[in-house]
Chain A
Amino acid sequence: MKIDTDAFLDSLPIMGNGLLGIFIVTVVIILGIYLLRALTSRKAEPVKPDAAAEAKEEPGVTGTVKKESAMDLMKEREKKDFLETEDTYNISNDL
């Protein structure tokens, strides 16, 4: 094993280009997803007065979009045995 500072210096532009590349592609994907969502989402139906009143009573609900609490989602996930099953301990079961 030898320390090769020249090779290290030569690799720095690759590191820079790689990191830059991955951020650019990711940003384009993010923008693409927003565009996709905007193009494919249905327009919100007008809120019926009763439904609006109901929504006001429910905490975490705004307008027509229900804002689920993390706790609700957590419970949902736990129902699917996501967190504690033996199977999910092994990554490759999911890979």
Chain B
Amino acid sequence: MDGLSSLFSNVLNLDIKQVIMWIIGGILIFLAIKKKMEPTLLLPIGFGAILVNLPMSGAITQTTGEVVQEGPISILFENGIANELFPLLLFVGIGAMIDFGPLLSNPKLMIFGAAAQFGIFFTLSMASLFGFELKDAASIAIIGAADGPTSIFVANYFGTKYIGAIIVAAYSYMALVPIVQPPVIKLLTTKKERTIRMEYKAGNVSKTARIIFPIFVTVLTGLVAPNAVALIGFLMFGNLIRECGVLDSLSQTAQSVLSNLITLFLGITIAEKMQADAFLDPTTLLILGLGLVAFIFDTAGGVLFAKLINLFSRKKINPMIGAAGISAFPMSARVVHKLGLEEDSSNFLLTHTIGINVSGQIASVIAGGLILNLIAR
């Protein structure tokens, strides 16, 4: 009888907060499988949330008295995220996947990528208003980068205790771009504006330009925001592998095997910061709310900037394309394109929105780098 009771003694260590985390984990798994929302990340995060919230879970480091028993998830966190390795390696894969051709064909559209980072800086101020320390406010604001690895990198750089909530918010809102962006775009534009047609002129982009571009951006960003040079450098390294034309095998590996491998461990490792005591806090809800604010104001920034340009330009721009400047690729480009088709079934904005969307990728990393530079750790 004693043996039986000792077998189930750990059940007594169960806390209601841990059960709530199981439910949250279950919801994330449900959203990943049933709603197909970012399944590659939400599913591992969801499962990880259950795994680390089992009483006395051996998956995370446990300290009993003076005895420290290391857990694999904590080890992975220390060696993959705390030292910023996973997001950087993932960026090599992302860089190898991105075709900067549409951006190089029509570079002036890149300005919308910059405008659509407004939400990041606006949320920084809002988070400060709500009493977050500046480094925590910066970490929360970077949710607006709509870029998971950048969010992880910046949040980790500042060592914020809210990293779990920030990452969950970042990936959740990226999956919710089709729900978040359309109402904001419609609110800020008239039907007439949404039906503006834009001429597309395919420019010639030489292979040399494609090869020099990643090197140029790395050098430039490194000079302006040295703290971000690892982020942009790994992204552009991946792109250089893609464009050089002599490393196809490495490019394919970076795009598929490397990205999948890192993603596989990234999600479950993030769960280390989803332990009930730290995660179940009213602040988490506030962070989720601020993340939404960041996405909304990113979208608004892009749209309003396009409208501002229209005041001075003879050739009118469809202001909806400004919303594609957020980094969620290719979701945002497709959302804006589909909105255009809803208004006028023969108005194809995709060629413009793709270029802006990839510029948003670069701009979000630069924004992250500027935040690292502007705020002391």
Interface presence of B46 (CB below 8 A): no
Interface presence of B148 (CB below 8 A): yes
Question: Min CB distance, A65 to chain B, in Å?
Answer: 7
Structural contact, B121 and A19, CB atoms closer than 8 A? yes
Interface presence of B167 (CB below 8 A): no
Interface presence of B265 (CB below 8 A): no
Interface presence of B159 (CB below 8 A): no
Interface presence of B158 (CB below 8 A): no
Question: Min CB distance, B321 to chain A, in Å?
Answer: 12
Indicate whether A30 sits within 8 Å of B108 (C-beta atoms), given known contacts A2-B131, A22-B370, A91-B175.
yes
A68 to B102, CA, bound (A): 13
Indicate whether A89 sits within 8 Å of B36 (C-beta atoms), given known contacts A37-B104, A37-B209, A95-B329.
yes
A8 to B123, CA, bound (A): 10
Number of interface residues of A (CB under 8 A): 54
Question: Can you list 19 pairs linking A and B with CB atoms under 8 Å apart?
Answer: A1-B286, A4-B129, A4-B130, A7-B134, A14-B125, A21-B225, A25-B224, A28-B220, A29-B110, A29-B362, A33-B103, A37-B203, A40-B208, A73-B202, A73-B350, A77-B350, A90-B39, A91-B38, A91-B331
Structural contact, B36 and A23, CB atoms closer than 8 A? no
Contacting residues, chain B, for A2 (C-beta < 8 A):
130-131
A24 to B359, CA, bound (A): 14
Select the residue from A3, A37, A69, A83 with max chain B CB neighbours within 10 A.
A37
Structural contact, A94 and B97, CB atoms closer than 8 A? yes
Contacting residues, chain A, for B203 (C-beta < 8 A):
37, 65
Interface presence of B270 (CB below 8 A): no
Interface presence of B201 (CB below 8 A): yes
Instruction: Known A-B contacts: A7-B137, A73-B348. Give 4 more (CB < 8 A).
Output: A3-B130, A18-B371, A70-B348, A92-B148
Residue of A nearest to B178 (CB): A89
Interface presence of B72 (CB below 8 A): no
Interface presence of B166 (CB below 8 A): no
Task: Give the contacts of A1-42 with B (CB-CB under 8 A).
Answer: 1-5, 7-8, 10-12, 14-15, 17-19, 21-30, 32-34, 36-37, 40-42
Interface presence of B124 (CB below 8 A): yes
Task: Give the contacts of A40-72 with B (CB-CB under 8 A).
Answer: 40-42, 65-71
Per-residue CB contact flags for chain B residues 159-199 toward chain A (1 = under 8 Å, else 0) read 00000000000010011010000000000000000000000
A71 to B199, CA, bound (A): 11
Residue of A nearest to B125 (CB): A11
Structural contact, A27 and B130, CB atoms closer than 8 A? no
Structural contact, A7 and B204, CB atoms closer than 8 A? no
Residue of A nearest to B198 (CB): A70
Interface presence of B330 (CB below 8 A): yes
Contacting residues, chain A, for B30 (C-beta < 8 A):
none
Q: Which residues on A are within 8 Å of B, measured CB to CB? A: 1-5, 7-8, 10-12, 14-15, 17-19, 21-30, 32-34, 36-37, 40-42, 65-71, 73-74, 77, 82-83, 86, 88-95
Q: Which residues on B are within 8 Å of A, measured CB to CB? A: 36, 38-41, 90, 94, 97, 103-104, 107-108, 110-111, 113-115, 117-118, 120-122, 124-126, 128-131, 134, 137, 147-149, 171, 174-175, 177, 200-206, 208-209, 212-213, 216-217, 220-221, 224-225, 259, 263, 282-283, 286, 328-331, 334, 346, 348-351, 359, 362-363, 366-367, 370-371, 374-375
Select the residue from A4, A27, A34, A95 with max chain B CB neighbours within 10 A.
A95
Residue of A nearest to B130 (CB): A1
Indicate whether A8 sits within 8 Å of B174 (C-beta atoms), given known contacts A18-B121, A23-B111, A30-B111.
no
Structural contact, A11 and B137, CB atoms closer than 8 A? yes
Contacting residues, chain A, for B38 (C-beta < 8 A):
90-92
Residue of A nearest to B129 (CB): A8
A14 to B120, CA, bound (A): 11
Residue of B nearest to A82 (CB): B330
Question: Min CB distance, B20 to chain A, in Å?
Answer: 21
Contacting residues, chain B, for A65 (C-beta < 8 A):
201-204
Residue of A nearest to B332 (CB): A91
Structural contact, A15 and B366, CB atoms closer than 8 A? no
A14 to B213, CA, bound (A): 29
Contacting residues, chain B, for A94 (C-beta < 8 A):
97, 329-330
A12 to B129, CA, bound (A): 10
Indicate whether A41 sits within 8 Å of B206 (C-beta atoms), given known contacts A8-B128, A21-B370, A26-B114.
yes
